Structure 1
Amino acid sequence: MFVSHRRPLALALAAALLPATAFAQSQAPADAPAQQAKELDKVVVTGSLIPQTQVETFVPVTIISAEDIKARGFNNVAEVLQKSSFATGGVQNSQSSGGFTQGADTLSLFGLSASYVKYLIDGRPMANYPALYNGSDVFNNISGIPVDLVDRIEILPGGQSSLYGSDAIAGVVNIILKKNIEGSVLSGRIGGYEKGGGQSGRVSFATSVNGAGGRWNTLLGVQAEKADPVWASQRDLTQQFNVDARNGAAPVASRDWTILDVENDYSYVFLDPANCANLGSAFGGTEGKQSRDGKGDYCGSQWTPGYRTLKNSKESAQVYAHSTFDLNDLAQAYADVLLNHEKVEYNSGSGYLWWGTEVGFGAYYDPNQGKLLNLQRAFAPEEVGNWNDHNDQNKSSSYSVTFGVNGTLSEDSNWDYDLSLTRTEYKLTEISQALLADKVDTYFLDRVLGEQQGWDPNYDAYPVFTPDYAAFYTLMSPEDFAGISTYVRSRSRTYDNMLRAQFTNGALFSLPGGDAGMAVAVEAGTQGWSYEPDARLTNGDIWGLTGVSGKGQRSRYALTGELRLPVWEQLTVSASARYDGFRMAGTEISKPTYSLGLEYRPFESLLLRGKYGTAFKAPTLADQFQGASGFYGKAVDYYNCALLGFDAGQVTNCPSQYSEMQYFGEQSGNPDLKPINATVWSYGVVWAPTAKFSLSADFHHWDIRNEVALQDVDQLLRDEANCRLGKLPADSGTCVAAGNQIVRDVSGNVESISLDKVNVAKETLNAVTVDTNYSVELGNFGLLNLAGSWTRNLKHEIQTYPTDPVRDALSDPYWSTDAKYKASASASWNKDRWTTTLYANYLGPTPNYSATLDPKGYAFAGGGRLGSYTTVNGSVNFNVTNDLTVSLMVNNIANRMPDMDTRSYPGTSDEPYNSYNFDALGRAYYIEAKWSFGKGK
């Protein structure tokens, strides 16, 4: 049995699962850990369908308990996962102004795609988020999980498709919600950031009820939360344009009211008779006459970056229920319900709310100036009205409902079964402020441009106007702005229905090492996705914006088998295989996967383990059925800038025609996409010489093929420029694709950019992970628990197209800004009724901004590495009584800010740090109280 065999390893690993507070509060006798270990006999751990009597098996599972989450200061499940040492990759987040999914949270394991993580709640797949990450990728939003109702989180790195199917390439995250509590628990938490903003409050309640003579048991839980936004104006680093730009240059003001000379490198023509005086009250009284060297004068402000959010505001509520009913001694019915509603608000800033003649007219000809010109102006908060009332909103609701029955086939049978039906659905409404095309153009025609007076004398293509420039340099009233603006509402939805049957035999037959185990599971269901943009986004009624569209559904089926063979006491062999099939639009995609695992215990305190297998990701419904979706954006035309003598590190001085180029882009799905395939393997060691110490180290390998490539626009433009300039081989796949996707007119200006999805990319990744736990009895001084986790990416190579050279994403900053390694450590000390925890999160060196601008990377002028970055959280918990606990948490104790790279960024930057890797939120304080009551005697 579990206790009598391999006792040191088993006890140390069992102890690692138990919270520090449990050890000290109980003041247990010396043999208490063994009793705790017995309770872990026959448990299901992520990575196997067969109940195990070993916490550690052939796959490494990291378990984060509810007590860990609280003690380490995490506010939500997203923070728990993003701070894990496995999450070495940066992702878009609420700082990503103008992002496609700014209201959602996700993570990247080992620097792999965010869509390569399989998320489970109680072993069942989460509903996909309806909007697309980066406008193209299906992923899961992990912001709506009630953290107060989480029992533990299990993170399993590596490909796991042979058990969990599609998406499980980078790893599996299984979030286990509470199943029972004694009595009732009421919890409340308030806090906020020292520098302002982000004030939050959360309350939760959970209770257990039972009846029918103990046959019926139900846990009910609710959680509600409200959090204010953090505005960029509340942080020194983001309240204005970069004040510490290279060469000591002053920050460059935004071009809020500008007239551009189209035929003279888009230099500025200043025609305001009042010298910006009529605009002086805009942006909090900071608007004034500005100048950029070599470009001319305009009206602008250095403080416009402050009018965006760094952290979303949020209102959310979740309801959870887990209920069981004993039908008889052999069968139990159960039901699980999780409901979630969220409203997230954010503001992308004034840079995304503007009007200009370029969109509607291309340019206009002013006979008094003898030039082709373009008007361009932002809308100031004073024109919009109460700026806080004009945030974008994401309103979502989701649910997951499961009904099932489990039990044993007969009294003398070793076969257990679990039959269930699960339905998940996620609905999202995105509400954004926009300009009505006809009304906004008419407004400026009536008040500024006047009547059209024919066509230009040079090209006979541009309208002729003699504008009233004094009227252009004038603020409009909030009433006028209300007349030209509206709110667009785009709606999207995903759903998944799954019927599942699993049969498990933990004692199939006897072997020298114990009983063999077997599990077989069959799944069938349907999936659907739809994205319906506001009709005005696609019919031209909205100025300067378009939308994503698409709709599709499919049926699916899967057959899974797993076998666990304890060949002898020291050696256990595990094998699993799965066959997945997807049917849609008259076609079928199918994929088999398999896995083979070994556990070897040469003696009771040492485990050697290894695994080899395959994984895959099926084309998502969005990959296949996304319609031709256009979008407008702003980017740098690196090629034309280079022709004028401005390389990638000098685009600040490049004419705005090219440094802030407006472009139209388009992307669409591809119904012919094939599955992404991966070969994965790992091997490692677990050493537990005593019941209070354990150390594990594992090596992981991925070889991923047939990846879907969709290039980043900025990267695509940099590639195209370097191809045209001869810095990259002209016949490489990257250069051929860039030339086809970027369309230029006869004068060399970009007309459009198209983005396609194709199965051509591949990547290889090697990584090592180390975890340790150590518990120290201090006698009269209490108990000290130490834990640490470290991840090091050893190799990460990417090839986007078959004819491309292989890129080193680990050492080449032009292709990746992820850290090579990441670590976390915690120290928890318990004495009597006190528990104190320090938790440190460490991010290894990352490239500075200059190193990311050119294929030369660190050899490029100004390129370099930033040092490591560590933040520390602390908490103090005090048990006032056996039923009442109060806690104080301080996050980012040292108030660490990402200000180490400001000189590498230009003066035009409103965020002089890598927001994928860092944030500027600073120190935060939280107070929490937890009251347990109604316990049975």
Structure 2
Amino acid sequence: MPLFYDPNFGSILDGQRIFTPNETGGVNAQRTIYNEQAMDFAAGLRGSFADDRYSWDLVLSHSRYETDSDRPRFLAQALTDFFLGPQLPGADPFFGAYPVYELNQDRYFNPITPAEFNALSTIVKTRADSSATNAQFVVSGDLFELPAGPLAFAAVLEMGTQEYELNADPRILPGQNIIYNLTGTGGGGERDRYAFGTEFAIPLHDTFKATLAARYDLYDDITQVDDAFTWNAGLEWRPLDNLLIRGAYSTSFRAPDMHFVFADESGFFSGIFDEYTCRNAGFTVTQCGNQAAYNYTAFGVRQGNPNLEEEEGQSYTFGFVWDVVDNLSLTVDYYKVELEGVVGDISSAYILQNEADCRLGVDRQGNPVDGSSTFCQFIISSVIRTVGGPNDGRIEQVNRGPINRSYLSNEGIDASLRYTIDTDRWGNFGFQLGWSHVLDQKFAEFQGEPRDSYRDDLTNFDFRSRMRGSVSWEYKDLDVTVFGTRYGSLPNWAETGRIAPYHVYNLNVGYEFTENFRASLIVNNVLDKLAPKDDTYFTYPFFWRAYSPIGREVFVQAEFTW
């Protein structure tokens, strides 16, 4: 139920009523039913020509997916009438922002019958389907001989069409307010695309090889995406038999996902933190943590954007593969990826934090913020606040949706070490250790804004480093592998410090009973370790979504072949 003022309690109440299976009509009475149907079809031909010098492949494919869901939900007005009765006149004496009701305590604190429960609820029906049809023709072979070997090439021609339709229950569309605490979205559209690409492998020397590739894409839909030319060039040098040095440069192109474009207007209710009101009152973010005046539920609106443009980018990689000794190899690669026009939604939390910065002229750390910038004007216009009356200044609605961000880059190092030991008596042992480390991240929301480095920003909840390791043992028909992952530190929610690194271990044991039967035991999160605690995160489950809320999982898998 929404927050309300009850004069019998003399306070603002936030009711949460848990219903037992006896009240709902049984364990299965409130289950959501999904009906999914998927179909994939592919047919192909292959052959060769010019005395088998060149080979070709033609593939035609079609896929279709349909899904229906029947989801039980409460009727908003029926729920309010049953537990609260009619709204009383007047405003609450604390903030003047909440409706006034008298809670029906007999109904709220005592069991209800299945018939009463059924009168409060309904079934929300959602229907969706999507399909894709593609044709691809590939030809490859050696064009001619060079002093260091043959010049190999491949060419591809593609044509495809995609379409989807999402039909939400009309009672959950924005503005209806018929179903309690649930809104939805519809949408649908289609897109045609065409592409041609080619790739060459060029032997320059016995120890030196180059690759060169190019591709042209053409899109036909309602967006601002038209066509794009992308290319890639790479070099490989083997100065020693056990050392490979490699590097590459490539450009990229990506059209926006279809639901970013064709989504109808949708609404959502979410818990928000009114950071501007909190900080404007002279409090810190931590001091406003659990205060109802600054933490409440607000309505949001999201809609697709048909004016989206394509995402374009470029990337650089450089590294080496070194076979140090027999069975021991080391791989190290440096990378940098730069993207422009990245498509993505702006979160409500991001909007509200930056609204506070823009209105106040300073961020949480006291750094100056230009409230007249294009970014700030966009952010401020995305938050609709009530003007006048008892709810003056309270957030009424947050508008969000997909946009083309100006710039995003990621720079880092990937490394891995592999070692194997083969024994006749004790089986085979394998050891792997991987490490990924982000050196820098830069971001600009709008054109003309500085490309600020945010890797160490206290609002950045991306892991800066990860380590992965495994130890495996194979003996006759038995194999055992232990995996371990170390996630680096993250900032705490209040941005006053960092949370310690987090370790997770998994186990996989398999046994091949016969040539046709194999069984495996899989245990994820063997130590049943939960995410590290963040004392400044006040919302269940009290940690950021970067961590998994799932504890130990045990699976048994059987495989039959014939």
- TM-score category, normalised to shorter length: 0.7 to 0.9
Q: Does 1:802 align with 2:447?
A: yes
Retained in 1: the 8 A contact 2:525–2:551? no
Contact between 2:327 and 2:420, CA under 8 Å: does it hold in 1? yes
Aligned 8 A contact 2:208 2:236 in 1 = yes
Please tell me whether residue 910 in structure 1 is matched to residue 540 in structure 2.
Answer: yes
1:895 aligns with 2:528: yes
> Counterpart in 2 of 1:873?
506
**Alignment partner, residue 265 of structure 2:** 628
Could you state the TM-score of these two structures normalised by the residue count of structure 2? 0.87
Name the CA distance, whole Å, in 2 between partners of 1:904 and 1:582.
47
Q: Which one of 413, 417, 420 corresponds to residue 59 of structure 2?
A: 420
The residue number in structure 1 matching 2:372 is 731
Deviation for aligned residue 1:785: 1.7
Which among 2, 8, 22 is matched to residue 271 of structure 1?
8
Alignment of 1:841 with 2:485, yes or no, is: yes
1:546 and 2:183 matched: yes
Match of 2:366 in 1: none
Select the residue among 442, 461, 464 that pairs with 1:817. 461
In structure 2, relative to structure 1, the CA distance for the partners of 1:389 and 1:599 (3 Å cut) is farther
- Whichever residue aligns with residue 489 of structure 1, its letter is K
Pair 824,397 (structure 1): closer, same or farther in 2 beyond 3 Å: farther
Q: Describe how 1:194-593 pairs up with structure 2 within 5 A.
A: 259-260=4-5, 269=6, 271=8, 377-382=15-20, 383-384=23-24, 386=26, 389-392=29-32, 394-409=34-49, 412-440=51-79, 442-443=81-82, 448-449=85-86, 467=102, 470=105, 473-475=108-110, 476-505=112-141, 507-538=142-173, 539-585=176-222, 589-593=226-230
**2: CA distance, partners of 1:536 / 1:784:** 59
Aligned-residue offset at 1:885: 4.5
User: 1:681 Cα shift?
Assistant: 1.5
Give the Cα–Cα distance (whole angstroms) in 1 for the partners of residues 520 and 395 of structure 2: 57
Pair 1:612-2:249 in alignment: yes
Q: What's the secondary structure of 1:396's corresponding residue?
A: strand
Contact 1:709/1:800 (8 A) holds in 2: no
Q: Is the 8 A contact 2:207 2:238 kept in 1?
A: yes
CA shift in 2, pair 1:766/1:577, >3 Å: same
Structure 1 residues 462 and 259: alpha-carbon distance in aligned structure 2, compared to 1, 3 A threshold: closer
Q: Is the contact made by 1:732 and 1:803 (CA closer than 8 Å) also made in structure 2? A: no
- 1:429 partner amino acid: D
d(CA) in 2 for partners of 1:719 and 1:465?
33
Equivalent residues, number = 545
Residue 257 (structure 1) shift: 9.3
CA deviation profile, 1:235-290 (whole Å, cap 9, x unmatched): xxxxxxxxxxxxxxxxxxxxx79642xxxxxxxx4616xxxxxxxxxxxxxxxxxx
Q: For 1:353-387, what per-residue CA distance to the aligned partner results, in whole angstroms no more than 9, with x for missing partners?
A: xxxxxxxxxxxxxxxxxxxxx87533321354546
Separation (CA, whole Å) in 2 of partners of 1:651 and 1:503: 64
Shift of 1:483: 0.8
1: CA distance between counterparts of 2:99 and 2:381? 35
- In 1, distance between residues paired with 2:40 and 2:333? 34
Distance 1:392 1:468, change over 3 A: closer
CA contact (8 A) 2:224 2:306 kept: no
**C-alpha deviation, 1:540, in angstroms:** 4.9
What's the RMSD between the two structures over aligned residues? 3.2
Cα distance, 1:522 vs. partner? 0.7
Change (3 A) 1:764 1:724: same
**Cα deviation, residue 733, structure 1:** 3.6
Q: How far is 1:544 from its partner?
A: 4.2
Shift of 1:493: 2.4
Q: CA deviation at 1:619?
A: 2.5
Equivalences for residues 45-194 of structure 1 within 5 A: none
Q: CA deviation at 1:587?
A: 7.3
CA distance in 1, matches of 2:146, 2:282: 75
Distance in 2 (alpha carbons) for counterparts of 1:652 and 1:553: 45
How far 1:542 sits from its partner (Å)? 2.8
How far apart are 1:545 and its partner, in Å?
Answer: 3.3
Residues 467, 889 of structure 1: CA spacing in aligned structure 2 closer, same or farther, 3 A cutoff? closer
Q: Give the conservation status (yes or no) of the 8 Å contact 1:719–1:734.
A: no
What amino acid is aligned across from residue 872 of structure 1 in structure 2?
Y
Report the Cα offset of residue 874 of structure 1.
2.8
SS at match of 2:294: helix
2-structure distance, mates of 1:488, 1:257: 21
Residues 678 and 704, structure 1, Cα contact 8 Å, conserved in 2: yes
Q: Is the 1:578–1:592 Cα contact (8 Å) retained in structure 2? A: yes
Match of 2:382 in 1: 741
**1:690-712 residue CA offsets vs partner (Å, 9 max, x unmatched):** 55232211111111111235311
Tell me the CA shift for residue 809 of structure 1: 3.5
Q: Deviations over 1:817-865 (max 9, x none)?
A: 12111121222223344433222122122222332xxxxxxxxxxx222
C-alpha contact (below 8 Å) 1:646/1:653 kept by paired residues: no
The answer as to whether partners of 1:708 and 1:761 remain within 8 angstroms in 2 is no
Q: Is the 8 A contact 1:827 1:839 kept in 2?
A: yes
Matched, 1:648 2:262: no
AA partner of residue 313 (structure 2): A
Change in CA separation of 1:430 and 1:733 when aligned onto 2, cut-off 3 Å? farther
Task: Measure, in 2, the Cα distance between the counterparts of 1:807 and 1:433.
Answer: 46
Distance 2:98 2:456 in 1: 51
The code of the aligned residue for 2:279 comes to A
Residue 755 of structure 1: which of 400, 416, 425 is its match? 400
Instruction: Kindly state the Cα deviation for residue 393 of structure 1 after the two structures are TM-superposed.
Output: 5.2
TM-score, normalised via structure 1 length: 0.54
Change (3 A) 1:737 1:481: same
Deviations 1:276-317 (A, max 9, x none): xxxxxxxxxxxxxxxxxxxx76xxxxxxxxxxxxxxxxxxxx
Cα deviation for residue 669 of structure 1 reads 2.0
Q: Deviation digits for residues 705-760 of structure 1, max 9, x if unmatched?
A: 11235311012112112322332421234422221110112221112211143323
Q: CA deviation at 1:903?
A: 3.0
User: 3-state SS of the aligned residue for 2:226?
Assistant: strand
Q: Structure 1 residues 485 and 791, CA, compared in 2 at 3 Å: closer, same or farther?
A: same
Residue 85 of structure 1 is matched in structure 2 by none
The match for 1:766 among 411, 416, 419 is: 411
The DSSP-based 3-state class of the residue aligned with 1:378 is coil
1:668 aligns with 2:313: no
Is the helix fraction higher in 1 or 2?
A: 1
CA–CA distance in structure 2, aligned partners of residues 515 and 643 of structure 1: 71
SS in 2 for 1:715: helix
Counterpart AA for 1:415: Y
| Residues 385/849 of structure 1: CA separation in 2 closer, same or farther (3 Å cut) | farther
Between Structure 1 and Structure 2, the one with more strand by share is 2
- Equivalent AA in structure 2 for residue 903 of structure 1: D
Indicate the percent of aligned positions where both proteins have the same amino acid: 24
- Pick aligned residue for 1:721 from 352, 356, 379: 356
Q: Distance in 1 between matches of 2:129 and 2:71?
A: 18
Question: SS of the counterpart of 2:279?
Answer: helix
Q: CA deviation at 1:390?
A: 2.4
- Residues 1:771 and 1:557: Cα distance change in structure 2 (over 3 Å): same
Cα distance change on mapping 1:792 and 1:594 into 2, 3 Å: same
| Deviation (angstroms), 1:664 | 2.0
Displacement after TM superposition at 1:605 (Å): 1.6
